[in-house]
Chains A and B, each alone.
Chain A
Amino acid sequence: MAVTWLRRLANQAPVPVFPVVGIAGEAALEALYLSPAVTVVQSPKRARALAVMGSIDYRDQQALRRVHGQVPAPRVTAWCSAMAVPQELSGSAIVVDATDQLGQQIQQAVHSLDAGQQSSDPNLCPDQPPAPWKGVGDGHGGEGMMGGKPYGRPMAMPEDDLRDGLQLDPLVFSIGPFSPLLPPGMAAKVTLHGDVIAGWEVLSRPYELTLPAVFYQALEQPVAVADLELARAAFHIRRLAAALQLNGLGAHARRLRHHAVELKPGQSIDDLVNARVLQSLRWVAGAGKGIVHDENWIRLRGPAARAGGDARDARLNDPAYVALGFEPVVQKQGSCAARWKQWRDEAGQALTLAAAAAKARAMSSPSGAVESPVGELTKSTPPVDISDLMPSLLVGLEWSEAMSVLASFDMAAVRYTDVIQLQGGGE
Chain B
Amino acid sequence: MELKQLLVLLLVVIITAGFGFWVQHVPGESKKSIPWPQRAPFLGGGQPDTHAWSRFHIRYYPMTLLLIAFEMEMMFMYPWAVVYVSEGIKALAEMGMFLGILSIGILYGWREGAFKWQ
Interface of A with B (CB < 8 Å)?
Answer: 43-45, 60, 63-64, 66-67, 69-73, 123, 125-130, 140, 152-156, 158, 161, 163-164, 166, 168-182, 187, 193-196, 398
B57 contacts A153, C-beta separation under 8 Å? no
| Residue in A closest to B41 when the chains form the complex, CB atoms | A173
- Give Cα A185 to B50, complex, Å: 23
Interface residues, chain B, with chain A CB atoms under 8 Å away: 34-38, 40-59, 117-118
- Residue of B at shortest CB range from A163? B118
Would you call A196 and B53 a contact (CB within 8 A)?
Answer: no
- B34 surroundings in chain A (CB, below 8 A): 72
Q: Which DSSP category, helix, strand, loop or mixed, fits chain B's interface?
A: loop
User: Of A43, A171, A178, which is in contact with the most chain B CB atoms at under 10 Å from its CB?
Assistant: A171
* A153–B51 CB distance below 8 A: yes
| Contact assessment for B36 and A130 in the assembled complex, using a CB-CB cutoff below 8 Å | yes
B residues less than 8 Å from A154 (CB atoms)? 49-51
Closest to A65 in B: B37
Q: Known contacts A155-B50, A164-B118; is A178 also within 8 Å of B36 by CB?
A: no
Shortest C-beta distance, A349 to chain B (Å), equals 34
**Distance to closest chain B CB from A312 (angstroms):** 34
- Contact call B55/A168, Cβ cutoff below 8 A: yes
Cα A153 to Cα B78 in complex, Å, equals 48
Q: How far is the CA of A194 from the CA of B58 in the complex (A)?
A: 6
Cβ contact within 8 Å between B51 and A176: no
Please judge, given known A-B contacts A163-B118, A193-B57, whether A156 and B42 are in contact too, CB under 8 Å.
no
Instruction: Determine the chain B residues whose CB is within 8 A of the CB of A69 once the complex forms.
Output: 35, 37-38
Chain B: minimal CB distance from A59 (Å): 11
The smallest beta-carbon distance between B115 and chain A, in angstroms, is 15
B47 adjacent to A174 (CB under 8 Å) = yes
State how many angstroms separate the Cβ of B1 from the closest Cβ of chain A.
Answer: 42
Given A69-B35, A172-B48, CB of A196 within 8 Å of CB of B117: yes
- Provide the residues of chain B in CB contact with A71, threshold 8 Å: 38
Q: Given A128-B36, A194-B58, A67–B45 Cβ distance below 8 Å? A: yes
Q: Given the known A-B contacts A158-B55, A194-B59, are A179 and B44 also in contact in the complex, defined by CB atoms under 8 Å?
A: yes
State in angstroms the CA–CA spacing of A400 and B105 once bound together. 30
